[in-house]
């Protein structure tokens, strides 16, 4: 099992800080993000010289960064908004290619699964077909994150089903998406959106379509969930990982910004306790 470092939770720090923290824990794989007004995100208007400087920084730390997360919603109703969204994502995919990415993380979108009409399904699937064609031309693959619609409550979130978490919607995606489109299996998100279904069910359903993986957990507080490290709550990664065929890099995604380094350390300690053979390169 190879483990690297996800970028969410680090997004208020510079990318050089991301590299420094990764090396502090002897991690050699890093996830980058494009878009959003954060110090740790790559801006869409980045120049080639800035890209060169960024790649030099990453290389100087002995880091590889083949994973890039993008921000999107292909479940938008308004046709003009959806057109602009597709144009923006296509731009970001090309930028990810310039950064040397092999995988781009996308969302299906944040409409509730229960509110998806056939028209919205059609437009969403068409958007993915376009993006997959572009990624194929550029030598990259898409990874759809299993992610619900999150509504903030206090220091946590209420999670509701989207097309990338609801069981029947996932079954439909597996059938109707281009076969090259994979999934970013995030079992913590799936637990928080529907704790009644065993996570092993999702692992078996997605199977070999899993081409990316985030590792975290969520702790329930009253009627909402607070993100935490693997091992901080009851998500049994020891048993779950036995059902996951994915052989790539698993990315720790510790979301709390105030103690992110401590949280990464706890995550690694737990993961090493269940997988003594864990590697970082």
CATH of the domain at 99: 3.20.20.150
Q: What is the pLDDT of residue 90?
A: 98
| Residue 90 structural domain | 2-274
Q: State the total domains in the chain.
A: 1
Q: What is the pLDDT of residue 36?
A: 84
Report yes or no on 279 lying in a domain.
Answer: no
Q: What is the pLDDT of residue 159?
A: 98
Report yes or no on 155 lying in a domain.
Answer: yes
Report yes or no on 280 lying in a domain.
Answer: no
Decide the pairing of beta strands 29-33 and 64-69: parallel
Q: What is the pLDDT of residue 37?
A: 85
Q: What is the pLDDT of residue 239?
A: 98
Q: What is the pLDDT of residue 281?
A: 84
Prediction pTM value: 0.97
Structure tokens belonging to residue 262? 């401590």
Q: What is the pLDDT of residue 270?
A: 98
Report yes or no on 281 lying in a domain.
Answer: no
Name residues of the chain where pLDDT drops below 50: none
Report yes or no on 15 lying in a domain.
Answer: yes
Q: What is the 3-state secondary structure (H, E, C) of the chain?
A: CEEEECCCCCCCCCHHHHHHHHHHCCCCEEEEEECCCCCCCECCCCCHHHHHHHHHHHHHCCCEEEEEECCCCCCCCCHHHHHHHHHHHHHHHHHHHHCCCCEEEECCCCCCHHHCCHHHHHHHHHHHHHHHHHHHHHCCEEEEECCCEEEEECCEEEEECCCCCCHHHHHHHHHHCCCCCEEEECHHHHHHHCCCCCHHHHHHHHHHHEEEEEECEEEEECCEEEEECCCCCCCCHHHHHHHCCCCCEEEECCCCCCCHHHHHHHHHHHHHHHCCCCECC
Q: What is the pLDDT of residue 66?
A: 98
Residues 6+ apart with CB under 8 A from 104: 68, 69, 70, 92, 93, 96, 135, 140, 141, 142, 143
Report yes or no on 184 lying in a domain.
Answer: yes
Strands across the sheet with 156-160, in order?
149-153, 156-160, 224-228, 217-221
């Amino acid at each position: 099992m190879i483990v690297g470092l996800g970028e969410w939770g680090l997004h208020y720090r510079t990318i050089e800080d991301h590299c420094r923290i990764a090396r502090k824990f002897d991690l050699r794989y890093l996830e980058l993000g494009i878009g959003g007004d954060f110090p740790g995100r790559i801006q869409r208007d980045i120049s080639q010289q800035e890209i060169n400087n960024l790649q030099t920084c990453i290389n100087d730390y002995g880091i590889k960064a083949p994973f890039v997360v993008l921000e999107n919603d292909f479940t938008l109703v308004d046709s003009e908004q959806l057109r602009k969204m597709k144009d923006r994502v296509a731009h970001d995919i090309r930028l990810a290619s310039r950064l040397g990415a092999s995988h781009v993380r996308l969302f299906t979108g944040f409409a509730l699964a229960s509110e998806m009409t056939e028209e919205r399904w059609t437009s969403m699937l068409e958007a993915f077909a376009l993006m997959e064609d572009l990624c194929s031309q550029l030598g990259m693959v898409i990874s759809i994150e299993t992610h619900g619609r999150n509504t903030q409550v206090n220091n946590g979130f209420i999670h509701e089903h989207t097309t990338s978490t609801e069981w029947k919607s996932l079954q439909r995606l597996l059938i109707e998406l281009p076969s090259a489109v994979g999934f970013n299996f995030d079992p913590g998100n799936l637990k928080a959106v529907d704790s009644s279904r065993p996570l092993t069910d999702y692992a078996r359903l997605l199977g070999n379509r899993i081409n990316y993986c985030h590792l975290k957990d969520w702790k329930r507080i009253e009627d909402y969930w607070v993100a935490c490290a693997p091992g901080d709550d009851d998500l049994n990664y020891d048993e779950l990982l036995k059902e996951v065929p994915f052989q790539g890099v698993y990315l720790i995604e510790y979301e709390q910004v105030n103690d992110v380094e401590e949280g990464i350390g706890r995550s690694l300690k737990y993961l090493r306790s269940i997988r003594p053979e864990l590697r970082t390169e």
